[in-house]
């Protein structure tokens, strides 16, 4: 743009700066910070223990507890790598003992992908901002697709896993797990309840989540010392900075694409396909891109380009956003660059080949969900329409 089109260099940085001066983006560092406070204390373990108490007498009770806990964690943080790190430490060993190493590794690494789909989701925030789509509507639209994927994986776990606890759950165990779980169970209620009731915006919900996790971890449960807070803040800043650099660069990239008229060319080219053909090509494109690119970068680049073509075929921005979110979430645990795989490798100390093999059935389960969500748009659009 500078050399060929003679754009002043200052304009490049002006566009990049404008790309990150949006209030909605403040939700990202807040949710990242909340996830890091959860990772630093026992809130994640309390969540697992609560779910395990109610599910231990069901076939595959511990794996199911891991699955449900990941879904609830998604309603708190919206970060798949954070979910992988938290639950790999807590629940990998018990699942490996009851149902095998392959099941434990595959489930822990793949179930964390739900954190991108169950609202609030960082990916949904980025899609909403990059395509001028309501973030609140995206959050509402993500509920049923998230539930669908949980159901698909739950059915597989019940059929695949054999073992269950022989001892019945006692009232004392239920009471104890509920007491321990209240601090973390209240958070999804506060965050999602606040957003859907209109009491807080998604950005304010992120701030509420971060403050709540900090207060509970430091003052309530006293699990995190003040001396550990600077390190938690540093980790959160580093993660947020990576995302914001992507957003800033993509803002200028989008401007360059607009000037080159590439979006118009894509709209004309893709618009010539029938709706079904367009959706099939889109899924293939996103699955391939998800293997090599971070979901945030993929959405920032592809979202604004694909949306006009999708709209011309009668595909709503909300439905398209859910397709992007769910399909790119699969990329979080597919080789060669799935971030969840690297996190699991770091936490569990396993060979990447072993992790990749364990993920095959779960990738197939997600793909079933992706196809259903893509070709039945009402799953994504019915709740935003009603609410």
Local structure of 352: helix, strand or coil: helix
CA distance 123 to 290: 13
Q: Are 174 and 53 in contact (CB under 8 A)?
A: yes
Question: How far does the chain reach from its first CA to its final CA, in angstroms?
Answer: 44
Mean pLDDT, range 63-73, rounded to an integer: 89
Phi and psi at residue 113, to the nearest 5°: -60, -20
* pTM recorded for the entire structure: 0.84
B/e letters for 176-196, b = 16+ CB within 10 Å, e = fewer, are ebeebbebbbebbebbbebbb
Does pLDDT of 167 surpass 70? no
Answer whether residue 108 shows pLDDT above 80: yes
The chain-wide mean pLDDT, for the chain, equals 86
Maximum Cα interatomic distance, the chain, rounded to a whole number of Å: 74
Which parts of the chain fold into alpha helices (H)?
9-19, 27-40, 43-55, 61-74, 80-99, 101-111, 122-131, 135-141, 143-160, 171-196, 202-215, 229-260, 262-271, 275-292, 295-312, 317-330, 339-348, 352-375, 378-386
- Which residues have CB under 8 Å from 139's CB, separation 6+? 119, 120, 121, 124, 192, 195, 196, 202
Q: Return the higher-pLDDT residue of 193 and 39.
A: 193
Residue 100, pLDDT above cutoff 60: yes
pLDDT value of position 283: 94
Task: Write down the pLDDT at residue 242.
Answer: 81
What pLDDT digit, counting tens, does each position of 373-383 carry?
A: 999 999 999 99
346-363 average pLDDT score: 89
Structure tokens at 249: 């660069």
């Amino acid at each position: 743009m500078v050399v060929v089109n003679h754009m002043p260099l200052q304009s490049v940085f002006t566009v990049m700066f404008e790309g990150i001066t949006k209030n909605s983006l403040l939700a990202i560092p807040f949710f990242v910070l909340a996830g890091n406070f959860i990772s630093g204390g026992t809130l994640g373990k309390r969540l697992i223990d609560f779910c395990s108490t109610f599910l231990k007498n069901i076939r595959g009770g511990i794996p199911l507890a891991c699955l449900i806990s990941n879904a609830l964690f998604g309603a708190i943080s919206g970060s798949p790598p954070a979910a992988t790190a938290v639950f790999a430490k807590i629940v990998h060993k018990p699942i490996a003992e009851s149902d095998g190493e392959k099941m434990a590794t595959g489930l822990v690494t793949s179930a964390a992908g739900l954190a991108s789909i169950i609202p609030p989701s960082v990916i949904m925030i980025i899609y909403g901002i990059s395509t001028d789509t309501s973030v609140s509507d995206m959050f509402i639209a993500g509920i049923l697709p998230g539930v669908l994927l949980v159901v698909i994986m739950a059915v597989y776990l019940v059929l695949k896993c054999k073992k269950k606890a022989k001892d019945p759950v006692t009232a004392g165990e239920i009471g104890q797990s509920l007491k321990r779980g209240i601090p973390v169970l209240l958070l999804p209620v506060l965050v999602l309840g606040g957003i859907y009731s209109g009491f807080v915006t998604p950005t304010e919900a992120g701030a509420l989540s971060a403050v709540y996790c900090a207060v509970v971890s430091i003052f309530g449960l006293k699990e995190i010392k003040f001396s550990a807070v600077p390190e938690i803040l540093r980790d959160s800043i580093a993660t947020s900075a990576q995302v914001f650099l992507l957003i800033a660069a993509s803002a200028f990239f989008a401007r360059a694409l607009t000037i080159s008229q590439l979006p118009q060319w894509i709209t004309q080219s893709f618009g010539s396909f029938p709706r079904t053909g367009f959706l099939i090509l889109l899924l293939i494109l996103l699955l391939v891109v998800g293997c090599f690119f971070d979901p945030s970068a993929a959405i920032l680049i592809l979202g604004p380009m694909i949306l006009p073509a999708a709209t011309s075929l009668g595909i709503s921005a909300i439905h398209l956003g859910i397709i992007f979110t769910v399909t790119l979430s699969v990329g979080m645990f597919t080789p060669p660059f799935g971030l969840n795989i690297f996190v699991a490798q770091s936490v569990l100390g396993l060979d990447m080949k072993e992790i990749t093999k364990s993920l095959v059935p779960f990738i197939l389960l997600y793909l079933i969900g992706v196809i259903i969500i893509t070709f039945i748009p009402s799953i994504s659009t019915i709740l935003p329409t009603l609410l």
